[in-house]
Amino acid sequence: MFAVVTLLVVAGLAVILRMVALTNMLPERILPAIRIVGLAVALLASVLFVSQSQDVNSAIARRNWPTTSGRIISSEVSGGKLFRPQVIFEFEVDSNTRIDTSHLHAPGFGGKNQRRETAERLLVPYVVGESLTVFYNPDNHDEVTIINTVRWDLYVRPGFSLLLVLAGLVIALPVKKRSG
């Protein structure tokens, strides 16, 4: 998240400088630096895009993982400042009983009361003692999930990265000085 915010700030500053450069208010010697910043933004956003695309691919792959039955041990809201739903469950894979925790992909934004309400609402279907389906990685049984849907935000992140790539490339374009 820090990388995204930093990239946004740098891109924003570079866009402002580019706009100022178009008005002929910046000295000529600063223009190459603006172009370099634009290229750097495009490059970093490209790396971010590849990373976030891998997250999407991983989420899609999880949809094909084998399943096993599990049992809910605990279902409660955890945290003091950042409320999150917490479901602790046990399941068996290859005759080994395992215990894991899920935070149900709860969002970490919004006001304190809103986060608590969201966490409580997400926990409603997860009743202690009830069974649930557990999806596990066939190559690594320590990697499990109880939610195997591809969340909408996983698609937004790479799209946003592509916009930053485009912004960086626009910033890096040569500035044509206006005559007059």
How does pLDDT run across 126-177, given as a tens digit for each residue?
999 999 999 999 999 889 999 888 877 788 888 888 888 888 888 787 766 5
Query: If you average pLDDT over residues 79-107, what whole number do you get?
Result: 87
pLDDT on residue 139:
93
Phi/psi of residue 177, nearest 5 degrees: -70, 135
Q: Tell which wins on pLDDT, 18 or 54.
A: 54
Query: If you average pLDDT over residues 40-63, what whole number do you get?
Result: 88
pLDDT on residue 81:
73
Q: Tell which wins on pLDDT, 13 or 148.
A: 148
Q: Is the pTM of this model over 0.95?
A: no
Per-residue burial over 97-118, b if 16 or more Cβ lie within 10 Å, else e, is ebebebebebeeeeeeeebbeb
DSSP characters over 70-125: EEEEEEEEE-SSS-EEEEEEEEEETTEEEEEEE-TT----S-HHHHHHHHHHHHTT
Degrees to nearest 5, angle at CA 154 with 151 and 159: 135
How does pLDDT run across 64-85, given as a tens digit for each residue?
999 999 999 999 998 877 788 9
How distant, in Å, are the alpha carbons of 78, 79, 80, 82, 124 from that of 113? 13, 12, 11, 10, 17
